[in-house]
Structure 1
Amino acid sequence: MKLIRPDELPLAIEALEAGELVVVPTRRWYMICANARDHDACARIYAGKGRPRSKSLAYILPSPDAADELFVMTLAAIQLASVFWPGDLAMVLRWRGSERARQHQPVGVPNALVNLDPGPLGQIARQSSVPVAATTANFSDPTSTFGPAITATEVESFVAKSEISVAYCIDGGISPLANHLTIVDCTETQAKIARSGVVHARAVDAALAAVSQSQPHAKK
């Protein structure tokens, strides 16, 4: 694995498009990424992390418009996207078509975990010709006291121990938040928080309150 600078994104994009793995910094953690349609590349992430296949990787959107094109956006999802994207909130969304879902199986079928990232990860998703799947750079061991990597040095340690073949790691310094994305399940009309994280539950509730207030009252 080679460390590269944040201004060398094209190298990471070329590697992704060629079926290789790259690691990208976010405000929360460093994320290991692959082509979301390359099942073999994504399988290498699962194997290296020891991650159960039942836990899907995240789909990183290239743009807000792509969310509506690819996924069923409920009123709640539209509202959350308008308030928190790009940012540190992810949504569980239903694919619009079964064929698209099958093509992106590593990020979930029939639902996917979806985020629009504001940093280098989002830039890669926008500029890449292939869709981006991502997950934290660490072992999926619930008993481990070592969380996802927050520095390039920690990424190097993880890659060496896991023996995952990674082309590049973008060295973005220290990830200051060291916390997860907040996940909101928007597969049904009534959205609900599936996992707590950076975006506080009160902020999510405040955003969703606007949806409730905008809906007409049922006639008696």
Structure 2
Amino acid sequence: MEAGELVIMPTSRWYMICCDAGDADACTRIFAAKRRPTEKAMVLVAPSMDAVRQHFRLTAEAELLADAFWPGDMALLLRWRDASDGSRYRMVGTPWALVTYAPGLLGELAARASCLIAATTANLSVMDAPGPSINLAEVQEFIAKSGADVSVAVDGGICPTANHLTIVRCADDRTELVREGVVHTRAVMSALRRPAQT
């Protein structure tokens, strides 16, 4: 990926197309292949909690969520510590970035890469297109229809969950659920030590 290559990796949720988060050309090729608006940032897959703390400002509640659910199926919207990082990695969002610390093969890739990884689901972002790929046949169909110049697609079998990351925004003055996904709202509230919403 350090040479601008695109790779597709399986997760328990679905297959993700990935590249070097700091390579604007590689990120742009993913957006173009998916027909995804560039304002809709990709997720930054962190290699470790140390890397998350190095690059982002974590509130006390962000630390609670990370402790409860990472590595796992949650992404946090976090502010960059350094504005120059936000500029360099703008394809994953600035001044807020969408950050996850992933389990499984995607997490292993992030831990072994010499760059930060940007990822998004392997599917077209257009009306009436199939949802994100959950098996290799769907990945191959996505590559054929999108023309994505993918160097490697790892066969992880069928992705059983077929659901999104839960997204939580962690601001200094407020923590709010942006999107419920694999991690249920009640679990989020429990980790934050708040009563469940009814």
The normalised TM-score by structure 1 is: 0.86
Across the two proteins, how many residue pairs are aligned to each other? 194
> SS of the residue aligned with 2:193?
helix
Query: Paired residue for 1:59?
Result: 44
Structure 1 residue 189: Cα displacement: 2.8
1:172 to 138, 156, 164: 156
1:28 to 3, 13, 20: 13
Question: Does 2:102 align with 1:113?
Answer: no
Once the two structures are superposed, residues 7-30 of structure 1 have per-residue CA deviations (whole angstroms, 9 ceiling, x without a partner) of xxxxxxxxx121110000000010
Question: Does 2:2 align with 1:17?
Answer: yes
Query: Paired residue for 1:195?
Result: 179
Structure 1 residue 35: Cα displacement: 0.3
Once the two structures are superposed, residues 144-166 of structure 1 have per-residue CA deviations (whole angstroms, 9 ceiling, x without a partner) of 25110001110000000001110
User: Unaligned stretches of 5+ in structure 2?
Assistant: none
The normalised TM-score by structure 2 is: 0.96
| Runs of 4+ deviating beyond 2 Å | none
Once the two structures are superposed, residues 29-53 of structure 1 have per-residue CA deviations (whole angstroms, 9 ceiling, x without a partner) of 1000010000000000000101011
User: Unaligned stretches of 5+ in structure 1?
Assistant: 1-15, 211-220
Query: Paired residue for 1:133?
Result: 118
After TM superposition, list the pairs within 5 Å mapping 1:65-214 onto structure 2.
65-141=50-126, 143-144=127-128, 146-209=130-193
Instruction: State which structure, 1 or 2, has the greater radius of gyration over its C-alpha atoms.
Output: 1
Equivalent AA in structure 2 for residue 78 of structure 1: E
- Provide the aligned C-alpha RMSD in A: 0.9
Equivalent AA in structure 1 for residue 170 of structure 2: C
Structure 2: distance between partners of 1:190 and 1:103:
26
Query: Paired residue for 2:26?
Result: 41
Once the two structures are superposed, residues 109-146 of structure 1 have per-residue CA deviations (whole angstroms, 9 ceiling, x without a partner) of 111000000111110111101110000000112x3251
Whether contact under 8 Å (1:111, 1:187) holds in the other structure is no
